[in-house]
Chain A
Amino acid sequence: MHKLMASAYKEFLLLIRDIGGIAILFVMPLVLIVTITLIQDSTFKTVTDAKIPILVVNNDQGNVSETILKGLEESNTFEVNIKNSEDIAKDLVFKGKYQLAIIIPENLTTGLEQKVAQNVDGIIEKFGLEESDSLPKATIESKEVKLYFDPATQMTFKSSVKNGIDKMVSKIETESIYKAFQEEITDDPTEAIFETENFIIFKEILPKKDNEEYIPNSVQHNVPAWTLFAIFFIIVPLSINIVKEKSQGTFVRLRTNPVSYAAVLGGKTLIYLVVCLIQFVLMLLVGVYLFPAIGLPTLDISGRLPLLFIVAIFAGLAAIGLGLLLGTIAKTQEQSAPFGATFVVILAALGGVWVPVFIMPKFMQTLSNISPMNWGLNAFYDVFLRHGSLLDILPEITLLFLFFIATTSIAIVYNEKKNTA
């Protein structure tokens, strides 16, 4: 125990002597979490100040195009700029000046009206409500609303725009059909024959806390994900610390001392775990106090603090285990630093920090199950978003702890084998 504590104290001294390193260790995760939350906050808001400028070329100038334009403006997502030429709009979008151009075709309104009228007439004839004229029906060609996207536009944006416009067009078509029927059946346009409101509606049932619906916000999502990311970045300084000891020759001296490698690593584990927890506390403080001050939702940690600390401790241990292993295996800082940084990014991607695991391909979902960041993220979400208990997070924290034990054991065995070869 004395040797373990002496090792921990030495690590503490080494850390506090590197003021620049400490600043990076504590400040950069905070910068990261604030930046990411600010960026991602808009995706969680229904109303946002940041509108996406788009181009619309209205070749129709009828009711349908007016409805589309009104719908786009009322969505509060787009800032609509009207252009007269498709070529100009296309050019601007393909040069990346705008994300999207919508080209409304000529005679869309009249075409739709004719098509709907033709269909409604046909239906009414079938019911024998109207005499059929023997003339063949004119073919009305379908209309094409063209969408030009900036090639750099992400697929998620593209599909959400396509879905939105599709929904809008369907609504316009339905309303036109109702209108046409109304005109055919009654002469009084104010008479309510049809209930045009949606029959099937959706209602999202949110988790409740103290009988109050709990609405997750960008902060509740981002803080756990990026906190975990920052915690795992401890791999980089920790592995560098070990590689440095090897290059300084202090490890050679320690190997001749009657002290086990486990005790040396134990000292590092204790101090770097404290670093992880300080990082965690700072990030919680930012979420609780700084976020509301800069217009972001407040991080709600009420009643969850003990469980959050438990998750942070075990996630920290898993990250430290990985750092110890990497530091033990790597021969130079040039090996450990880039590998550590890249590996954390890979683990984060696999763990679902950027893209939710459920939308990943099957193979990646399987891989995700063996990512410690996925276990940590699930445990944090259990506490933050699902109001889970200790029992709920037990499987994840057990896996994180086993990961720490496994990586540290491999580091010790590897060190033993390598140094006695």
Chain B
Amino acid sequence: MINIEHISKKYKNADNYSLSDLNLLIHEKEIFGLLGPNGAGKTTLISILCSLIKPTSGSFSIDGLTYQKNKNQLKQLIGIVPQEYALYPSLTAFENLKYFGSMYGLKGKSLDEKINKSLEHLGLLSFSNKKIDTFSGGMKRRVNLIASILHNPKVLFLDEPTVGVDVQSKNVIIEFLQELNKNGTTIIYTSHHLNEAETFCTRVAIIDHGKLIIKGKPKELIETSKGSHNLEDVFISITGKALRDHA
């Protein structure tokens, strides 16, 4: 489904590579977790896969399509839930979703129905005509998610979709994503919530210093890592306990 070959990325004026010769194959209908400490290269990888930035070298394809040859087809195929609330604060939830849906060529009654259904699913229907700037963090996260799936993407990228939300919102989001996955959407997600990743992901990859360190099913990784009882133990044993502050 997603075939990443020898991808490297070095930002302008940066001393080090953010991604270094990364190879990865993500299968269809997987929920794939990209894990790693701050600055490991997770967001850079997702940004490359969503065509937000270009890799310095290497290539990738999604469902056999590349940005060089099939830019618009590829954009129609994917959805991205960015880390920020990428929404217009002074527009209502419905207006935001209608606009972003329109950007995928969706229109009319079918778009309205899809929006209302999704809002209902994520417990936001009664707030559909409220402005985004009146929403809590959890509500914004949910609208942010809906804005990315209105066009039924085959692949959904999520960059820390549950950061800063309460447990209730997190559960609703996770359940919604699982249902999307059941319906055939491949999910690639980054998170610092390792317990969440352990139960949610079918496979994970741990990236550090721009390199792929390990990949596999969470259960298998825990079993093969000595003294590890959960994914967090595996993570610490691989990436260490040192702080990863960087500017």
Q: Which residues of A contact B (CB under 8 A)?
A: 2-3, 6-7, 9-10, 13-14, 17-18, 248-250, 252-259, 419-421
Contact = CB atoms under 8 A, between A and B. Distances in A.
A257 B100 contact: yes
User: Which 10 A-B pairs give the minimum distances between C-beta atoms?
Assistant: A6-B102, A249-B84, A249-B86, A253-B86, A17-B90, A257-B103, A258-B75, A259-B103, A10-B99, A256-B80
Interface in B215-239: none
Interface string B95-110: 1001110111101000
Contacts of B91: 10, 13-14, 17
Given A14-B90, A252-B82, A3 B103 contact: yes
B84 A248 contact: yes
A17 B88 CA distance: 11
B66 to A, nearest CB: 14
A2 B76 CA distance: 16
B54 interface: yes
Interface residues of B, number: 33
Interface of A is mostly: helix
B105 A3 contact: yes
B76 A248 contact: no
A2 B99 CA distance: 11
B78 interface: yes
Given A6-B102, A10-B91, A252 B84 contact: yes
B104 A255 contact: no
A419 B48 CA distance: 11
A256 B103 CA distance: 10
Contacts of B53: 419-421
A9 B131 CA distance: 16
A256 B75 contact: yes
Give the interface SS of chain B, mostly helix, strand, loop or mixed: loop
Nearest to A251: B86
B152 interface: no
A419 B95 CA distance: 27
Contacts of B52: 252, 255-256, 419
A2 B102 CA distance: 7
A252 B81 CA distance: 10
B241 interface: no
Interface string B9-52: 00010000000000000000000000000000000000000111
A250 B88 contact: yes
B85 A249 contact: yes
A7 B76 CA distance: 18
B212 interface: no
B67 to A, nearest CB: 9
B76 A250 contact: no
18 contacts: A2-B102, A2-B105, A3-B103, A3-B105, A6-B99, A10-B88, A10-B99, A14-B88, A248-B85, A249-B86, A250-B86, A255-B51, A255-B52, A256-B50, A256-B79, A257-B100, A258-B104, A419-B53
B87 interface: yes
Nearest to A421: B12
A253 B102 contact: no
Contact of B87 (A6, A7, A250): A250
B147 interface: yes
Given A248-B85, A257-B100, 10 more contacts: A3-B105, A13-B90, A17-B131, A248-B86, A253-B86, A256-B51, A256-B80, A257-B104, A259-B103, A421-B12
Contacts of B75: 256-258
Nearest to A254: B103
Nearest to A419: B52
Contacts of A6: 98-99, 102-103, 107
B103 A248 contact: no
B89 interface: yes
Nearest to B91: A13
Given A2-B102, A3-B105, A248-B89, A13 B95 contact: yes
A259 B51 CA distance: 13
Contacts of A17: 90-91, 131
B126 interface: no
A18 B103 contact: no
Among B86, B95, B131, the most chain A Cβ lie within 10 Å of the Cβ of: B86
B72 interface: yes
A258 B105 contact: yes
Contacts of A13: 90-91, 95
A253 B149 CA distance: 12
A129 to B, nearest CB: 94
Looking at A2, A6, A420, the one whose CB has the most chain B CB atoms below 10 A away is A6
A18 B88 CA distance: 12
Nearest to B92: A13
A250 B96 CA distance: 10
Contacts of B131: 17
